[in-house]
Copies of this chain bind each other. A is one copy, B any other.
Amino acid sequence: MTNIKDLAKMARVSVTTVSRVLNNHPYVSKEKREAVLDAVKSTNYQKNINAVHLSKGKTKLIGVVLPFSDHPYFSLLLKGIAKQALENNYHLVLFQTDYMQNKEIEALEMLQKKQIDGLIICSRTCDLQIIEEYLQFGPIVLSEDVKEINVSSTFVSHYKIFSNALEYLYQRGHRKIGYCIGRSTGANSYNRGLAYKDFHEKYSLSYNSEYIIDKCLYFEDGEKVINQVKLMNIAPSALLVTSDQVAAGIVVSCQKQQISIPDDIAIIGFDNQPIAKMMDITTIEIPLMEMGRNLFLQTINSEISNKEVPVKLIERKTV
């Protein structure tokens, strides 16, 4: 492997000059520049980037923490992050955590060890206090509405979304409304639960805890949801489903079992992914790609900012 010293020897200049040429710095004469460039070509030279990292203290690497990449929500967010990273000449290090805290901490430690310049946490399971401790080592950006600590974030207000969707269903006569989520812990689910509770208090409605169905992640979980609903004494007349895929699975499952949508049960999906359009599912549009882009930009722009992204209800045929 030829290095900068070899080049210097070959071009009969100092390493400094080589470095200048390599990094397009000014103050190099034409002749020397060309001599260096010749040497570069003839040796097929490439920088050892680790030396650059050590010298500069930066890696142009941003970490991305997410529970799993095989879920449309996260893979779309990731796609947005990746797109923006590319435009800014960064690369991504993936931390697939499966919601295991120690893996999240591993990512935080890589920030501390300077292997990554910043960290995007798409969904977390560890405490905010822990994250706060690592803030001193580099920028960390979250995808949730965080007030407790001073970090950047890009998020949608799940409280508002849920409130609005519940209101929408209420106006259409629904009084027994259930909802499906991916996991019952986590900040987003907490806010949804709050909105759900507040809604029921506002209208003095009661609800059954079995109306809250968790572990709904994939298309095929739709079937599970319908099977659960069928076992209930009093079935909900509408379902808020925090993923279009699951909503689509529910729709298909209902067709199989002769359950009519929206007459027997109304469905609202989340995200407005293409599958929702194809299946004519009423859904709440969440601009995941844009959110991903913004998350990335926040990690490299050192000022701290919090951005709430607006969402939109798309009315189709399942309500």
Q: Which residues of B contact A50 (CB under 8 A)?
A: 50, 53-54, 57, 59, 114-115
Within 8 Å by CB of A109, from B46, B53, B69, lies B46
Alpha-carbon gap, A310 to B67, bound state (A): 29
A49 contacts chain B at the CB level, 8 A cutoff: yes
Number of A positions contacting B (CB below 8 A)? 50
| Known contacts A70-B76, A79-B68, A220-B278; A86/B61 CB under 8 A | no
**Min CB gap A81→B, angstroms:** 10
Q: Which residues of B contact A48 (CB under 8 A)?
A: 54, 113-114
Within 8 Å by CB of A69, from B46, B53, B82, B95, lies B82
Q: A52-82 CB contact bits vs B (8 Å, 1 = yes)?
A: 0110010101000000111110011011001
Q: Which residues of B contact A109 (CB under 8 A)?
A: 46
Q: DSSP class of A's interface residues: helix, strand, loop or mixed?
A: helix
Alpha-carbon gap, A68 to B46, bound state (A): 28
Q: Which residues of B contact A12 (CB under 8 A)?
A: none
| Known contacts A113-B49, A115-B49; A94/B94 CB under 8 A | yes
Binds B, one of A151-159, A163-171, A184-192, A248-256: A248-256
A10 contacts chain B at the CB level, 8 A cutoff: no
Q: Which residues of B contact A49 (CB under 8 A)?
A: 110, 113-115
Q: A267-300 CB contact bits vs B (8 Å, 1 = yes)?
A: 0000000110111000000000000000000000
Q: Which residues of B contact A275 (CB under 8 A)?
A: 218-220, 249
Alpha-carbon gap, A78 to B47, bound state (A): 29
Alpha-carbon gap, A49 to B184, bound state (A): 37
**Min CB gap A285→B, angstroms:** 16
Alpha-carbon gap, A78 to B75, bound state (A): 11
Q: Is the CB of A82 within 8 A of B59?
A: no
Q: Which residues of B contact A146 (CB under 8 A)?
A: none
Closest to A73 in B: B70
| Known contacts A54-B50, A94-B92, A110-B91; A220/B277 CB under 8 A | yes
| Known contacts A50-B50, A70-B78, A93-B61; A218/B114 CB under 8 A | no
A51 contacts chain B at the CB level, 8 A cutoff: yes
Closest to A53 in B: B50
Beta-carbon contacts under 8 Å, A197-249 to B: 218-220, 222-223, 248-249
A19 contacts chain B at the CB level, 8 A cutoff: no
Q: Supply 30 A–B pairs (Cβ within 8 Å), ascending by A.
A: A48-B54, A49-B113, A49-B114, A50-B53, A50-B54, A50-B57, A50-B59, A69-B75, A69-B82, A70-B78, A70-B79, A75-B75, A79-B96, A83-B96, A86-B103, A91-B93, A91-B95, A92-B93, A92-B94, A93-B93, A93-B94, A94-B94, A219-B219, A219-B275, A219-B278, A220-B274, A220-B275, A220-B278, A222-B278, A255-B255
In the A-B complex, list the 3 residue pairs whose CB atoms are closest, starting with the nearest. A70-B75, A220-B278, A50-B53
